[in-house]
Amino acid sequence: FWLSPLACAQSDPLPSWNDGATKSAITEFIARVTTEGGSNYVAPAERIAVFDNDGTLWSEQPVYFQFAFAIDRVKAMAPEHPEWKDSEPFRSIFAGDVKGALASGKKGVAEIMAVTHAGMTTDAFAGTVRDWIATARHPKFARPYDELIYQPMVELLAYLRANGFKTFIVSGGGVEFMRPWVENAYGIPPEQVVGTSGMVTYELNGDKPVLKKEAKIEFIDDGPGKPVGINRFIGRRPIFAAGNSDGDLQMLQWTTLNDGPRFALIVHHTDAEREFSYDRESQVGKLDKALDEAPGRGWTVVDMKSDWKTVYPAAKQ
Amino acid sequence: FWLSPLACAQSDPLPSWNDGATKSAITEFIARVTTEGGSNYVAPAERIAVFDNDGTLWSEQPVYFQFAFAIDRVKAMAPEHPEWKDSEPFRSIFAGDVKGALASGKKGVAEIMAVTHAGMTTDAFAGTVRDWIATARHPKFARPYDELIYQPMVELLAYLRANGFKTFIVSGGGVEFMRPWVENAYGIPPEQVVGTSGMVTYELNGDKPVLKKEAKIEFIDDGPGKPVGINRFIGRRPIFAAGNSDGDLQMLQWTTLNDGPRFALIVHHTDAEREFSYDRESQVGKLDKALDEAPGRGWTVVDMKSDWKTVYPAAKQ
Ligand SMILES: [Ca+2]
Ligand SMILES: [Ca+2]
């Protein structure tokens, strides 16, 4: 009632972004695709935006948060598994040596993920995720993991939705690990989360149907799997994509290498003080090929240190 | 402007449904879950409704329409495949003997599906589906297949959406076969279609990324696969489900055997004159176990002949 059009135009939809080329590129793109009658107008139904999660919407260092969850689950489950005490990768975990556990390689990591992510119902697993999100704390920031989300990206998601976009997560992370908390964190409902998934089987026990999680990967939503996941789950080609690593390269290509207005954004982790600084040499979130390809493709690279006024939202009480 | 509250209350949201127990069961359920403060109120985000497609939203006789599409594609592709002339199941198809082609069993049907649904890009496949929907005619009704949708079910979908529901298709049919036409037919966007899917691979050809359809099934969204597909794609448990065959049994169980208000509907094909009449003995859309289970579970069975005032929408010009 009290808002004049002028007041609306002046309110900043991206207050945590510093003014500059990156922010302008975003707002100019949104203006172009939403201007009816303009040559770059896109109908609302086609305004599909896809976001990687780890390193794009929340932090991913020193280890992927889902791996931190798995480590904590191994510790919590240890009393029921005395046999773990004498075998890797579990022995390293109990000794507090996560690097040692990772040194067990793909096989060890797969075993950690299998014992913590399978053998229970989908409902029971969602419960353990919710409990962990509520209680676990990040080693560097001593905050709940779901507070280590990027405030500028949360604003970007809301800004896109306010302009008629449907926002999706398209992540290499586990879909059942994300769904219990992303709606609250990002405003993205479960049905708009695409991720890596394990096999699930249906059982009817008396009058109680359950879905049981099996220790078998069904789909890896990473690298060339991301356009495949977008096609399978969304069935439309996005016009906006955001990522932070080479795992997003094909998603950014699939989004932008087509006719019409298209936008790709890469979050470059340049802020060792407020967050972490890493790219080409990192074990987690390696950004190399996509960074090389960005200038030629016209992809917008976010310099976290200079483009973001704040990184995380203020702590909740 | 001219509608008084009274006029609104009197306008019938389901004009193609005859008054009676079935229609009342639907409207009473919707009233219960949308009444704020009532004991059965369901928040809009949890108002998830899932619909089977073949035999539930459109007809499926004398053969699944996707199979009719495949038959037509084989004929269209024949000039490029002289080798098909002398081998089954193709020889039967060219002789106009669909039953003979089906007699080749699972292997023959799989071959027909593979050659017509794989080996091209997703975009090219969507184009052939759109062309077929625009030009093919049903053998009994001589109408385009996308006009053989059930007008009462189209009204039910719209009625649910007007009451805050998000409507999904959960079908044993191919997801890439449905997406090109279901939005126009039912108002359901591509991202709300769950179905059987084949493997797809990403390729970057120069600056042109494509997704290629492979001749390998990735997921069968039928029977116990339906709750699995609902979990994978939607990530919430529906409160409303509609189906027509034993392939929907587990979806109806998964939807209804839980706390809170829940609704399941079975379309029983009882109208040989206006549509088709079949159930327990049918090769296509066999309805046997689910029909037995319906009374004990409180599932609502639609008697097409008596519950539906009209079956199909009026022909377009
Ligand atoms: Ca990432
Ligand atoms: Ca069916």
Cα A165 from Cα A49, distance rounded (Å): 7
Least confident of A129-143, A213-227, B71-85, B97-111: B97-111
Percent of chain A with pLDDT over 70: 97
Closest CA to B65 of B57, B54, B56: B54
Beta-carbon contacts of A156 under 8 Å, excluding residues fewer than 6 positions away, are A14, A17, A26, A242
Closest CB to B179: pick one of A48, A209, A235. Answer: A235
- With CA atoms as reference, the chain A residue closest to B203 would be A224
What is the pLDDT at residue A10?
60
Query: Looking at residues A260-264, what average pLDDT do you find?
Result: 98
Which SS3 state, helix, strand or coil, does residue B74 take? helix
Q: Can you say whether the dihedral through the CA atoms of B112, B247, B124, A256 is positive or negative?
A: negative
Predicted confidence (pLDDT) per residue in B217-266, tens digit: 999 999 999 999 999 999 999 999 999 999 999 999 999 999 999 999 99
Q: Hey, what's the torsion of the CAs at B240, B245, B251, B253, to 10 degrees?
A: 90
Residue B180, pLDDT > 80, answer yes
Q: Provide the pLDDT for residue A1.
A: 42
Residue A178 is given by DSSP the state H
What φ, ψ does residue A76 adopt, rounded to 5°? -65, -30
**Is the per-residue pLDDT at A106 higher than 80?**
yes
pLDDT, tens digit, 9 for 90 and up, residues A107-158 = 999 999 999 999 999 999 999 999 999 999 999 999 999 999 999 999 999 9
Give the tokens for residue B54: 């073949």
Distance separating alpha carbons of residues A274 and A53, to the nearest angstrom: 19
d(CA B310, CA B150): 8
Categorize the per-residue pLDDT at B10 as very low, low, confident or very high, splitting at 50, 70 and 90. low
Residue B54 and residue B244: Cα distance in Å, rounded? 8
Kindly tell me if the per-residue pLDDT of B9 is higher than 90. no
- Mean pLDDT (chain A) is 95
Strands A48-51 and A208-219: unpaired
Beta-bridge partner residues of B203: B210
Q: What is the DSSP string of A12-47?
A: -S-TTBPSSHHHHHHHHHHHHHH-TTSTT---GGG-
- Of B203, B199, B200, B253, the residue nearest B224 (C-alpha): B253
DSSP SS3 for A239: coil
* Chain A residues near any Cβ of chain B (below 8 Å): 45, 48, 122, 166, 168, 175-176, 179, 183, 189-193, 197, 200-202, 204, 207-209, 211, 218, 224-225, 227-228, 231-236, 250, 253-254, 257-258
To the nearest whole Å, the CA of A201 is away from the closest chain B CA by: 7
Mean pLDDT to the nearest integer, B183-189: 98
Domains in chain B, please, with CATH?
14-61+148-307 (3.40.50.1000), 65-135 (no CATH)
How many whole angstroms separate alpha carbon B112 and alpha carbon B124? 18
Q: Does B295 score more than 50 pLDDT?
A: yes
Region A286-297 average pLDDT? 98
Which of A193, A202, A250 best probes binding to B when mutated, by most B CB atoms within 10 angstroms?
A202
pLDDT digits (tens, 9 = 90+) for B28-48: 999 999 999 999 999 999 999
- What distance in Å separates the CA atoms of residue A32 and residue A24, rounded to the nearest whole number? 12
* Percent of chain A scoring above 90 in pLDDT: 92
Cβ pair B191:A224 closer than 8 A: no
* Cis bond upstream, residue B89 (ω within 30): yes
Q: For position B7, what pLDDT does the model report? A: 47
